[in-house]
A and B are shown apart, each in its own frame.
Chain A
Amino acid sequence: MPPKGPLHLQKEVLQVEQCTGCGLCAGLCPYFNVVDERVALTSTCGLSEGLCYEVCPRTPTDWELIDRTVFGAPRQDHVLGHWQGLYYARAGEAAPAIEGKQYGGTVTALVAFALTQGLAHGALLTSGLPGDFPVPVLARTMDEVLAAAGSKYSATPTLQALVGAMRDGLGSMVVVGRPCQVLAVRKLQSVKRRTPVTNLTAGTKLFLLGLFCFWALSSAFYERFLPSKLNPLEVTRLDLPPYELVVSTPKGELRLPVDELRPLIRPACEVCFDPTAEFADLTVGSTEDDPRWNTLLARSALGSELLEAATAAGWLEVRPYPADRVHLLREAVARKKRRVVTGPAGPPPYLFLQEAYHRGVVAAEEESGCS
């Protein structure tokens, strides 16, 4: 396949609403820009080939190849991908109090632990006012990490700040991101050509902390939907427990059925094959069961080490995943994957599955008993 560049990216991803808003292209290049979660090629660089195309999570991606690059082998589990441990987790007693935490505070506790122990020199997170677009932050202190606590439900382009942080010489970093963002970072790390930018990434140790993500809200949520319901400046907290949106203000709570949000789902998310951040070192999500806990998947050796260290230090508390809930998680994930692979239009163009992977997904679906 001939090398491709920004104009292909524009045609194959941006113009067909396949952009996930990860922010990496805008971080790599002054010709791409992102404002309020909208990414655009704002002027042309004149080149026909570019990293922008190569690293985009929505340009053709060989799933098995990424597995081999990150984990050294193809996966056995075609629902959850590579994993070493599946837990319920929450911030431990040694962790500082986390005011804005969504559930168990697992992400905040892990990031804060990595930072205070010197395992990482910075963390890419999202922060900002709850009623406005979340903004990417490069947190370097405990306070900055705590200020960023709490889930955001839109496509914050955190990776815009990634390359800049690498350039500024941060030796190691925690990147907290949606599955598409984790994939983008993995694609950047696995660029074979020695380019000046990949030289940079080779010199930076990254902990990829993935988030469960079944869909993200489009920018219309902050631009139109929220202002149509209330004054966004008054929002103190947004929460999306199953089946409803809870908007808190000093005057009280506004509860809206999740169905109202369906038209606001970012179109790219409809064809997402990876709701559990399969290429992360650790993946964290809600439990949909007990709001005091998070689901935690340890995937890589690096992830397991961080998890063990944080647990040993009392910053994180884990317990086994309830056996009776494993199949619920697997079914939800398998259902989403199956929809994407066997949709009427066939698998989306970005998704390249080797035969075994394709079979694996279909088989997993059958095993889960969903139709």
Chain B
Amino acid sequence: MQLNMDRPGVTIFLQGNAALARGALEAGVDYATSYPGSPTVEILELLAQVARQCGFYAEWSVNEKVAVEGAAAASLAGLRALAITKADGLNVALDFLTCLGLTGVRGGLVLVVGDDPSGHSSVKEEDTRFLARVAHLPVLEPTTPQEAKEMVGVAFRLSEHLAQPVVLRTVTRICHAGGNVTLGPLPQERRRPSLGTEDRFICVPRQHLQQEQKLREAAKLAEAWNLVSYEGPAKAETLIVASGPGLLYAREAVKRLQRQDQVGLVGLKMVWPLPETVLQRYLQVARRVLVVEEIEPFIEEQIAALIGRNAGEWPLLRLYGRKDNTIAGSFGGGCGELTPDLVRAALTTILGLSAPEETGFRTEFRPPERELAFCAGCPHRASFWALQSAIALDGRRAVVLGDIGCYTLGRGRSGYRVLHTVHAMGSGLGLASGFGKLKEWNWERPTVAVLGDSTFYHAALPALINALYNRSDLLLVIFDNETTAMTGHQPHPGREVDARGEPAKPVSLEQILHGLGVPLKIQDPYDVRSSMRAIYRALKEEDVRALILRGPCALLRDRKLAQLRTYVDQMRCLGEGCGCNVFCSRVWACPANRWDGLRGKAYIDETLCTGCGACAQLCPAGAIRTEGGEAPWREG
């Protein structure tokens, strides 16, 4: 199935992200940019696949700020532009975005932002709506894949109507859910870029007033554009205001509790600015209101303010939601992702009903809790082993600043708990720049920044330059797996291809570091002892220095080309009699290193093993054997 198939009226099953991409196609997007981040990563991947064919542009940008700037450029030239980020990514673009919100735009500019309630694949559960509010941008939020697709077009029209960027906020449960989507027509005409002689987009403080006017206009449009829905009795004393997947959970709760004739349900598709005129109609007859929304009590607080402004005119009204823990959230205390059960429990409480019965969806057998761990043959496992060993050998208790990528797992057992900090993209290096100055307090612990290749391009340079200029002492270790692995191997500026699979001009890590005058060594992480020595020696040096541990992501290596067949010689494995205490499967813990509990010996799952040969260097019994290729690091 092609995403760009031209069959209006046909209904197909699409993932939420695919529906958003299709929505962009139907809206005639001209220019699409993104930096990969869950849960929205597939949107640009899908768009890039058909971009050339459909005659629009798509790129993986170096980071979200540049992505939004690139899309904004297209918009200022009158084109329809789409920038896609995850919530954390919008932070990176925020400085520019708050300015863009002042100058406004020309062509439709839509920012699709994926929030990740409970942070399933993020370091935090951030609520984008607050950022949009800071930048004075309207926010739309879909409830189903179908609505997600339609909403892209609505967002473009709204953006053009207001000459203001529009945020389409979505959440993991929409992005990754599937649903029936009825296709619309694809545009036949393409736009041409233009910039009028009088067009100026220069940010000044006075434009604040225009921003507020635009937001008032947006709120007015909500009803005419059907951005608020209502279902239930004409006058409901019990009201639920819901958005996103919360609307589905609320609808289900009302239905299961059989309160359709009693409870009114307002669905907000425009979540900022609050469509006050429509809402007011329902609020002024209600006695209790439950707000159901993802992550923060954003709508809830707007409604509280609205009630406050109408105090004395409306009958007394009690507000329930996350703030008072009626919506407990899966983390408790009003935090964490919504579930249908949590919403039903909340509705049960405010209706004064007895405790809800189980939904029947709960599974008796929960899958075993599994740690986050590096894949079989991952170069990062070898890198972290070398790093933790080198730090122990060095003995000065180096401080290791982590970053965002697969190697974030270095905080856990899979990375031998080496990392002291994990924050935002590139922040490890900024922190390292600071820790590296603590020598002025006679702090003698070495500073190590660990970050990946894609993260280096994304956000490392200013921190690196800062460290150089201010003569900080730090060792930058780049875990270079030659891709953006965590989000599914999107190309980055070090690669020879771009998002559309066309030739790109690779920007070499080495050349950047050489250009900055950073002493650099490059090391194969699978040669574990050499890596250990390289890190140990680098720890002893001063000033800013770098080590690239370069090994391609194990998931990208062609298994058929695997150099080495690796197996455990059952005669050599000393099993429980060895002093290693099950080193390979327990400590090294590559998923391919397995333990045969019945025989009390190690073995290798050759379907998982990638033949990296690292464990063979470490097995103290020499029982892990390799054959069929060159392993340059093998002793002897």
Q: Is the CB of B636 within 8 A of A168?
A: yes
Q: Which A residues are in CB contact (< 8 Å) with B395?
A: 38, 40
Q: Is the CB of B393 within 8 A of A33?
A: yes
* A349–B120 alpha-carbon span in the complex (Å): 55
Q: Which B residues are in CB contact (< 8 Å) with A35?
A: 390, 393, 532-533, 536-537
Q: Which A residues are in CB contact (< 8 Å) with B389?
A: 33, 42-43
CB distance from A247 to the nearest CB of B (A): 21
CB distance from A129 to the nearest CB of B (A): 14
CB distance from A11 to the nearest CB of B (A): 15
Q: Which B residues are in CB contact (< 8 Å) with A322?
A: none
| Max count, chain A CB within 10 A of own CB: residue among B388, B393, B619 | B393
- Interface of A: prevailing SS: mixed
CB distance from B578 to the nearest CB of A (A): 6
Partner of B392, one of A29, A40, A52, A161: A40
Which A122-161 residues have C-beta < 8 A from chain B?
138, 161
Which B611-626 residues have C-beta < 8 A from chain A?
618-622
| Residue of chain A at shortest CB distance from B575 | A196
**A45 in the interface (beta carbon within 8 A):** yes
A-B contact count (CB 8 A): 78
**B583 in the interface (beta carbon within 8 A):** yes
* A360–B42 alpha-carbon span in the complex (Å): 82
Q: Is the CB of B416 within 8 A of A223?
A: no
Q: Is the CB of A36 within 8 A of B537?
A: yes
Q: Which A residues are in CB contact (< 8 Å) with B619?
A: 30
Q: Is the CB of A51 within 8 A of B579?
A: yes
Q: Which A residues are in CB contact (< 8 Å) with B537?
A: 35-36
* A29–B572 alpha-carbon span in the complex (Å): 15
**A50 in the interface (beta carbon within 8 A):** yes
Q: Is the CB of B580 within 8 A of A223?
A: no
Q: Which B residues are in CB contact (< 8 Å) with A165?
A: 636
**A164 in the interface (beta carbon within 8 A):** yes
* Contact flag A168-B622 (CB < 8 Å), given A42-B389, A43-B416, A47-B579: yes
Q: Which B residues are in CB contact (< 8 Å) with A197?
A: 574, 579
| Max count, chain B CB within 10 A of own CB: residue among A51, A163, A168, A196 | A196
Q: Which B residues are in CB contact (< 8 Å) with A31?
A: 583
CB distance from A53 to the nearest CB of B (A): 10
Interface string of B406-417 (1 = CB under 8 A from A): 000000000010
CB distance from B581 to the nearest CB of A (A): 5
| Residue of chain B at shortest CB distance from A49 | B579
* A33–B621 alpha-carbon span in the complex (Å): 15
* A196–B587 alpha-carbon span in the complex (Å): 21
Interface string of A94-126 (1 = CB under 8 A from B): 000000000000000000000000000000000
Partner of B577, one of A50, A52, A195: A195
CB distance from A159 to the nearest CB of B (A): 13
* Contact flag A29-B579 (CB < 8 Å), given A138-B635, A138-B636, A167-B622: yes
Q: Is the CB of B622 within 8 A of A164?
A: yes
**B540 in the interface (beta carbon within 8 A):** yes
Q: Which A residues are in CB contact (< 8 Å) with B536?
A: 35-36, 38
Q: Is the CB of B393 within 8 A of A42?
A: yes
Interface string of B598-636 (1 = CB under 8 A from A): 000000000000000000001111100000000000011
Q: Which B residues are in CB contact (< 8 Å) with A163?
A: 620
Q: Which A residues are in CB contact (< 8 Å) with B636?
A: 138, 164-165, 168
* A138–B635 alpha-carbon span in the complex (Å): 9
Q: Is the CB of B393 within 8 A of A38?
A: yes
Q: Is the CB of A28 within 8 A of B620?
A: yes
Partner of A33, one of B532, B579, B583, B587: B532
Q: Is the CB of A42 within 8 A of B392?
A: yes
**A46 in the interface (beta carbon within 8 A):** yes
* Contact flag A30-B620 (CB < 8 Å), given A35-B533, A36-B537: yes
| Residue of chain A at shortest CB distance from B537 | A36
* A40–B388 alpha-carbon span in the complex (Å): 12
* Contact flag A196-B574 (CB < 8 Å), given A33-B392, A161-B635, A223-B540: yes
Q: Is the CB of B532 within 8 A of A30?
A: no
| Max count, chain A CB within 10 A of own CB: residue among B388, B390, B581, B583 | B581
CB distance from B539 to the nearest CB of A (A): 10
* A164–B581 alpha-carbon span in the complex (Å): 18
**A41 in the interface (beta carbon within 8 A):** yes
Interface string of B316-341 (1 = CB under 8 A from A): 00000000000000000000000000
Q: Is the CB of B618 within 8 A of A30?
A: yes
* A217–B389 alpha-carbon span in the complex (Å): 23
Q: Which B residues are in CB contact (< 8 Å) with A43?
A: 388-389, 392, 416, 587
Q: Is the CB of A36 within 8 A of B533?
A: yes
Q: Which B residues are in CB contact (< 8 Å) with A168?
A: 622, 636
Q: Which A residues are in CB contact (< 8 Å) with B581?
A: 45-47
* A288–B143 alpha-carbon span in the complex (Å): 90
Partner of A196, one of B532, B583, B621: B621
* A167–B388 alpha-carbon span in the complex (Å): 27
Partner of B635, one of A45, A46, A164: A164
CB distance from A45 to the nearest CB of B (A): 5
* A164–B572 alpha-carbon span in the complex (Å): 12
Q: Which A residues are in CB contact (< 8 Å) with B529?
A: 33
CB distance from A18 to the nearest CB of B (A): 15
| Max count, chain A CB within 10 A of own CB: residue among B540, B572, B587, B620 | B620
| Residue of chain A at shortest CB distance from B535 | A35
| Residue of chain B at shortest CB distance from A166 | B622
* Contact flag A28-B635 (CB < 8 Å), given A38-B393, A42-B389, A168-B622: no
Partner of A30, one of B390, B416, B583: B583
CB distance from B65 to the nearest CB of A (A): 40
Interface string of A22-34 (1 = CB under 8 A from B): 0000001111011
CB distance from B570 to the nearest CB of A (A): 13
Q: Is the CB of B578 within 8 A of A196?
A: yes
Interface string of B526-565 (1 = CB under 8 A from A): 0001001100110010000000000000000000000000
CB distance from B97 to the nearest CB of A (A): 45
* A196–B390 alpha-carbon span in the complex (Å): 29
| Residue of chain A at shortest CB distance from B581 | A45
Q: Is the CB of A167 within 8 A of B393?
A: no
12 residue pairs A–B, Cβ–Cβ below 8 Å: A28-B579, A29-B579, A30-B583, A30-B620, A31-B583, A34-B393, A35-B536, A36-B536, A38-B536, A43-B416, A138-B635, A196-B574
Chain A to chain B: the 7 pairs with minimum beta-carbon distance, closest first: A167-B622, A42-B392, A196-B574, A42-B389, A35-B536, A40-B393, A30-B618
Q: A33-B529, A195-B577 are in contact. List 5 more A-B contacts (CB 8 A).
A: A33-B532, A35-B536, A138-B636, A161-B635, A168-B636
